[in-house]
Amino acid sequence: MSEPMLTIEEAVVLVREHARPLVPCCRSLLDGLGCVLAEDVAADGDEPPFDKALVDGYAVRAADLAEADGRLRVGETILAGQTPTRSLGPREAAAIMTGAPLPLGADAVLMHERTRVIDGDILSDEIDVPAGRNRLVRGQVYRAGDFVLRRGSRLSPASLGLLASVGRPRVMVIPRPRVAIVSTGDELVQPEQTPGPGQIRNSNAVMLQALAVLRGASAQILPIARDESSELKRVLKEGLSSDVLLITGGVSAGQRDLVPAALAELGVTRIFHKVRLKPGKPLWFGTLPGQGDRAGTLVFGLPGNPVSGLVGFLLFVGPALHLLTGQSDSLPEPVEARLGGTFTHRGERPTYHPARWLERQRDRSPGVLEPLPWAGSADLLAVAQADGFAVFPAGDRTFQAGEIVRFLSLD
């Protein structure tokens, strides 16, 4: 009996239905980089906390300059980190460094480079200096109690700096999803090993780990599981303690494709198996429900061939991670592109074919694409040279140069 095959769109809807943002938790700043903030953050004080000098030079009362023909007596010196000991007298300047508090009575700072020293006085190049020059007034940037970051914003390096400046070394964020990666197959050896007869190196694990990390997850590679039921179940069980379990291989129709049965025995509910897609048809998706404090696990069984796994990740795992990490902006969709030459596509399933830009998209005119020579789902070489995948609809057809197709970027 042939199983019903979902369209890509139907399968994406099912994945999205099961992917909810993870429960917020407290993280140190660097751990929160790229995460979605789960609280509104208010300033604990004014910024700047005092009227401060923006340049090295002399704190002055601007009105004094015209009266004194630009020549002022120099009183005390105020370094950054110090506070003035007294207010500015008439026709007096204080030597001041960038970031130091202005003395009472000063309302502008003369840049050091625009002054000369004469007999212990300073002479300004300019006499007509407006009040406020080179000064930042207390609270000018934000005031105590102002919200500086809102729940839902994504933490960038600049937002981490801002959080530090308002005294928040830890914040509530949607945490990184924990992704576990299990490669299955008797033929697999580690990348550092030399394959024996019939063996190949495991290329999927590190590729999927990288894809997951680039989408804000923390991803751990578990031991390779042999095509043997009890070993497979042992490794899969370990992976089920993560938020997302990515399995490669063992989901097709071969005699040693034991993953669906092993997952069923471990209590994982199948949501779908097989998607009308090339490469990557045997894709398996299911969930392990949460229990008590434990959140549920999303389980993806990706076909073993590397390009199938990669395409399956882009289409299904990426959107799931996007939702788990609480991001509200929409995911990048395929864009329209023109074919640079004629191309014949044959096949009964929509096909993701590695392609690269001949000319990138400019303004609103679509970019020009070249589908790359490609030996199919085991051929990562073409993908490593590609910018993404040209999407050809099901059916045999020759596309003419200049025809519009969709393009899914690898970025």
If you search the block for the tokens 């990706």, which residue do you land on?
302
Range 308-327, binding ligand AMP (CB under 6 A): none
User: Which of ligand AMP, Mg ion, none does residue 183 bind to, with CB < 5 to 8 Å depending on kind?
Assistant: ligand AMP
Binding piece for Mg ion, criterion CB under 5 A, among 67-75, 283-291, 296-304, 347-355? 296-304
Contact at 8 Å (CB) between 48 and 141?
yes
Minimal distance, residue 208 CB to ligand AMP, in Å: 9
- Pick between residue 134 and residue 252 the one whose CB is nearest to ligand AMP: 252
Q: Which of 24, 101, 185, 280 binds Mg ion (CB under 5 A)?
A: 185
Range 148-207, binding ligand AMP (CB under 6 A): 183, 185, 187-188, 200, 202-204
Q: Alpha-carbon distance 25 to 157, whole Å? A: 19
Range 230-289, binding Mg ion (CB under 5 A): 249-250
The answer to whether residue 340 forms part of the interface with Mg ion (CB under 5 A) is no
Binding mask 37-76 for Mg ion (x = CB under 5 A): ----------------------------------------
Half-sphere exposure of 98 (CA within 13 A, CB side): 5
Dihedral pair phi/psi, residue 388, rounded to 5°: 170, -155
Dihedral pair phi/psi, residue 298, rounded to 5°: -90, 130
Q: What is the dihedral of CA 364, 409, 178, 208, to 10 degrees?
A: -170
Contact at 8 Å (CB) between 354 and 363?
no
Q: Alpha-carbon distance 389 to 81, whole Å? A: 56
Tell how far CA 127 is from the center of its chain: 51
Q: Alpha-carbon distance 152 to 136, whole Å? A: 30
Helices (H), 81-185: 157-165
- Pick between residue 297 and residue 305 the one whose CB is nearest to ligand AMP: 305
User: Which of ligand AMP, Mg ion, none does residue 264 bind to, with CB < 5 to 8 Å depending on kind?
Assistant: none
Binding mask 239-258 for ligand AMP (x = CB under 6 A): ---------xxx-x-x----
- Pick between residue 85 and residue 199 the one whose CB is nearest to ligand AMP: 199
Residues near ligand AMP, by CB under 6 A: 183, 185, 187-188, 200, 202-204, 248-250, 252, 254, 303-306
